[in-house]
Chains A and B, each alone.
Chain A
Amino acid sequence: MNKIVYKKKLSDDVYRISFEARDIARERKPGQFLILQLDTDFGERIPLTIADADPEKGTVTIIFQTVGKTTHILATYNVGDSIANVLGPLGQPTHIEKLGTAICVGGGIGVAPLFPIAQALKQAGNKVVVIMGARSKELLVMEDEMRAIADELVICTDDGSYGRKALVTEPLKEYCEKDPKPDLAVAIGPPIMMKFCAETTRPFSIHTVVSLNTIMVDGTGMCGGCRVTVGGETKFVCVDGPEFDGHLVDFDNMMRRLGSYKKQEDEAHHQCHLDLKIKEMEK
């Protein structure tokens, strides 16, 4: 079950893996995510977005960054290894329709979940503009895939090592100012990026969809740990989302909630680095 069939290190801390998950590969739609756990007794359950899937081969692709204990351990898995538990697809699929021009903004590994959405928007007959951003060139993911489907592609890096030296909000604003303005914006990336993308499009009244990745346990609506405030109402990211109207999301509260376990996570992360180092030395 869930045997890894492909692995590639994309940069220092970003990996792309594909693994067998026949049901998920068959059922998943753009915008959905999965939850994985590496140890049935003591592992944590973490949500990850689905970057791609091959229903024929029955495989699913994820792109992840090593940010905590589980992702660090997952990065040590190789082709042939199996992931103990994978649940999905979870969340509401993206609402796809033909609107005209859709502008898709991805930051960091947020480009991964953005890809299937951009692809579906293109297939639905929209003109798709993609803006991809990363701290530097090495951290850009899925450029080739995006280039293949985008009508226009803008790349930004924080350090100017590739494409424009700018934040993604700069080209986003330029597109918003065009006449006709885009009909839809989709922004996926770090919370702070999504917040500022939403602020950028707000004055232009462009409907802006963001995809939230919060703390979760079950991913099925049972715990409520993922709740966010949207338009003054409490929503569960796992079942009501993960996509919401970016103009209504209380990003400040969401970002603070993401830090709920920061101390424990930092400790676990630190311990994990030590453990991995010891393992390496033992080899």
Chain B
Amino acid sequence: MSHILPNKLREQAAEQLAALKGKELKPKDRLMIPLQEMPSQAPEKRIENMKEVALGYFEEQVKVEAARCLQCKNAPCVKGCPVAIDIPGFIKAAGEGDYEKSLGIIKKTSLLPAICGRVCPQESQCQLYCTVGKSLKNVEQSVSIGRIERFVADYARQQGKLSVPPCKADTGKKVAVIGSGPASITVAADLRKEGHRVTIFEAFHKPGGVMIYGIPEFRLPKEIVQEEIDTLSQMGCEIRRNFLVGRTRKLEDLLQKDGYDAVFIGTGAGLPKFMNIEGENLIGVFSANEYLTRVNLMKAYDKERSDTPIYNARVVAVLGGGNVAMDAARSALRMGAEKVHLLYRRTEVEMPARVEEVAHAKEEGILFHFLRSPVRILGNEADHVRALEVLEYQLGEPDESGRRRPVAVKGSEYQMPVDTVIVAVGNNSNPLIEKTTPGLETTKWGNIIADENGKTSMDRVYAAGDIVLGAATVILAMGEGRKAAAAINELLSNQ
């Protein structure tokens, strides 16, 4: 995919739109309408700034893209959505230019459309089931549901039409929400609307969780996350920053001493996995969490003003194939690295990262090495990274997940000269709450055990999001959060 200038995309869409005007479109006609590409900053420009890469559709593009939707009666896309948004409904409204109505339809089930429109892996959710993609035998040709979602959410923001949801009369019940990522934001909003008093406890100095410390500005502008947080404050949720439940106050004390009637745990998957290979504690080896936190939350990209230093990486190897790996690789490039390699154990098809992020990373010049895995990290006499020893793999028989298992090629080791290694092979859940809360049951991987309503082994304690699911997505965290909020509301209403 080569980069097309945004204005060109707009012109094309305007022409296509004019051609569609007044026509009665049959499904066959709709399938002929070309997919609208996402306007984006030119690759050579954007690697020099932290601004958002994808610029969002033009209005003309939204109307053309919406016309591609077949408005299927059975709406297979809805089944692919973790929160079952009425997708044909909101697309129809958007196509008619009624963006307010469109957003209203989304907001019935999704609380964070501006965020999900940007970071959802649509190609493996709603768009995977889209009839258009199926008919054209290419999931990448599916209706761009996420891009339309993003447009209607941004439109309302730009028009200043974001409203603070009304909240019912005070019930006098108090809920503690631990963490301030997507699951917690959802629970806080839903419970506040029901009239309960909500306090959010965030360990960092800024709320927003992974959307603030992890996902970079160039993929999700922090302003958007901040607006969601501001909405919570305006609704009357109290946000206590610099408060680590488990250390600043035990979870049990919140219930027993501080008068909270229920607790929601949404602390996410925040414990970085390392590979346990030789040389991982050399200087120049970072978890993606650390690297991204320095760049994003601590604003190390603003070298003039930020006090947090960032390692002077010239040649980088990023290990992993998920969104976090893409974020780390692309951040390193923006921080001035000359060369960024990305190593993944399987092939491109199996990479869990969003297709758009992979495409963007390629355009920006990230060097992908598939079927490669690190063996050890080599250092110089001062313990600084000097090279990565890499082993080649081949695809063998399918494993339990159905994906073909990578098998090491004997004797294929070689050295790749690098000065920085960023490990992005996943996160475990942070064990702090589990360790400091006797009676809270977890799996052997440290995930909190919760039923389908988020209820944990402890009375009046609920959990959802990555702390239950393991590292997953914003939309899943939000969807599970809604269920937990409903269960908490029911508990509090029956008391």
Contacts and interface: CB of A to CB of B under 8 A. Distances in A.
Contacts of A250: 281
B272 A222 contact: yes
B242 interface: yes
A240 B153 CA distance: 43
B110 to A, nearest CB: 27
Interface centre among B276, B290, B312, B432 (most CB of A within 10 A): B290
Interface string B292-327: 011000110010011111111000000000000000
B243 A222 contact: no
B383 interface: yes
Contacts of A27: 247-249
Nearest to A40: B205
A221 B432 CA distance: 9
Given A27-B249, A84-B205, A89-B247, A42 B307 contact: yes
B205 A37 contact: yes
A239 interface: yes
Given A44-B298, A227-B281, A239 B307 contact: no
B416 interface: no
Interface in B231-267: 241-244, 247-249
A85 B242 contact: yes
B206 interface: yes
Contacts of A40: 205-206
Given A84-B205, A87-B203, A256-B383, A265 B290 contact: no
B463 to A, nearest CB: 17
Interface string B262-283: 0000000011101010001101
Contact of B247 (A85, A90, A228): A90
B90 interface: no
Contacts of B155: none
A43 interface: yes
Contacts of A228: 281
Nearest to B284: A260
A218 B204 contact: yes
Interface in B354-390: 382-383
B311 A220 contact: no
Contacts of A45: 205, 298, 308
A24 B247 CA distance: 9
Contacts of A126: none
A91 to B, nearest CB: 8
Interface residues of A, dominant DSSP: mixed
B430 interface: yes
Contacts of B274: 224, 227, 234
Determine which residue in A37, A84, A221 has the highest number of CB atoms from chain B within 10 A of its CB, and name it: A221
A280 interface: no
B290 A224 contact: yes
B289 interface: yes
B287 interface: yes
Interface string A193-226: 0000000000000000000000001101111110
Contacts of A257: 281, 283, 383
A234 B205 contact: no
A44 B140 CA distance: 42
A223 B287 contact: yes
A84 B284 CA distance: 30
Q: How large is the interface on B (under 10, 10 to 19, 20 to 34, 35 or more residues)?
A: 35 or more
A99 interface: no
B57 interface: no
A268 B382 CA distance: 23
A222 B311 CA distance: 18
Max chain A Cβ within 10 angstroms of own Cβ: one of B280, B298, B311: B298
B318 to A, nearest CB: 15
A225 B213 CA distance: 15
B151 interface: no
B422 to A, nearest CB: 11
A86 interface: yes
B286 interface: yes
B289 A222 contact: yes
Contacts of B283: 256-257, 259-260
B2 to A, nearest CB: 37
A75 B478 CA distance: 44
Contacts of B242: 85-87
A85 B290 CA distance: 19
Contact of A42 (B276, B293, B305): B305
A238 B205 CA distance: 17
Nearest to A239: B432
Contacts of A222: 213, 270-272, 289, 293, 430
Contacts of A260: 283-284, 311
B269 to A, nearest CB: 10
18 contacts: A23-B248, A44-B306, A86-B242, A87-B244, A88-B244, A88-B247, A90-B247, A217-B290, A220-B203, A221-B431, A222-B271, A224-B289, A225-B290, A256-B283, A257-B283, A261-B311, A263-B312, A268-B307
| 7 nearest A-B residue pairs (beta carbon) | A223-B290, A264-B309, A44-B307, A261-B309, A224-B287, A85-B205, A256-B383
Interface of A: 23-24, 27, 37, 39-45, 69-70, 84-90, 217-218, 220-225, 227-229, 234, 239, 250, 253, 256-257, 259-261, 263-265, 268
